[in-house]
Amino acid sequence: MVIQFFTYILQGTSVTLAVTLVALPLGLILGLAFALLYNYGGLWVSRLAAVYSLAMRGVPPVALLFVLYFLLSGRLVNLSPFWAGSISLGIISSAYQMEILRGALQAVGESQMIAARAIGMSRFQAIRYIILPQAIRLAIPPWSNEASIVLKDSSLVYALGVPEILRRAQQLSATTQQPFLAFGAAALIYFILVFLANRGLDLLAEKTKLPNAAA
């Protein structure tokens, strides 16, 4: 019976992964854009980016998910719960990813920008070839944390009826009266996914690490 539990819930895993694989990259693209606007966009643009971040981070994800969901599947645009939910999660995550990247960009420092400008690079070239490659390296560990949060928060789309891991666990718990087994299986699957994601990103961080001592 345990195996049947697992196979039933595992069918939700592909949905969970799909939600994550939409939300995380979308959050990265938006987050990077907002981080760059915050750091290099001038006073007013930077303030707007800060307000965006504050608003997105100041509201519980579930509440924001419902607000965005009803916007994205309303009269003007009508997306399926899967897409509306994934995009909403991506937008929520973008604020956190923005903060991660903003901090990383600042940690690289203004002096690298000056050195890049001094050899004739434009601001865009300096950001592209000098600042970002260093900032992204710095951002991998905190980003790994955000990736596992998004993976776990993907369970929120359950509230919209998307049949991901938690939704399936809930159904199973209701029909079999075995909540411990059902949710235990779901928890285990989440743990394995998060563990694998973090290990993968650790390896990436290790691979891109710069040597820091005289060889």
Partner 1 sequence: MREFPPILQAKNLTKTYGENVIFKNISLDVYKGETIVIIGPSGTGKSTLLRCLNLLTPVDSGQIFLEGEEITAPSVNQDQVRQKIGMVFQNFLLFNHLTALGNVMVGLTKVKKMPHNQAKEKALQELERVGLADRAHHYPAQLSGGQQQRVAIARALAMDPLVMLFDEPTSALDPELIGEVLGVMEQLAHEHMTMLVVTHEMGFAREVADRIIFMEKGRIVEEGTPEDLFERPQQARTREFLGRISELYGKREKG
Interface residue with partner 1, options 10, 121, 159, 201 (CB under 8 A)? 121
Radius of gyration of the chain (CA): 20
Between 137 and 176, how does the x/- string for binding to partner 1 read (CB under 8 A)? x---------------------------------------
The verdict on 43 binding partner 1 (CB under 8 A) reads no
SS3 75: coil
Nearest by Cα to 154 from 70, 68, 61: 61
Cβ at position 32, least distance to partner 1 in Å? 17
CA 187 to chain centre: 20
**Is residue 214 a contact residue for partner 1 (CB under 8 A)?**
yes
Select the residue interacting with partner 1 from 2, 55, 107, 114 (CB under 8 A).
114
The crossing angle, in degrees rounded to 10, of helices 2-10 and 179-208 is 50
Closer CB to partner 1, 9 or 36, in the complex = 36
Nearer to partner 1, 57 or 137 (CB): 137
Minimum separation from the CB atom of position 121 to partner 1 (A): 6
Which conformational region is residue 45 in: left (phi greater than 0), alpha (psi within -120 to 50 degrees), or beta? alpha
Report 52-111 residues binding partner 1 (CB under 8 A). 111
Phi-psi region of 178 (alpha: psi -120 to 50; beta: other; left: phi over 0): beta
Beta-strand runs (E) in 26-166:
none
Footprint of partner 1 (CB under 8 A): 111-112, 114-122, 125, 129-130, 133-134, 137, 210-215
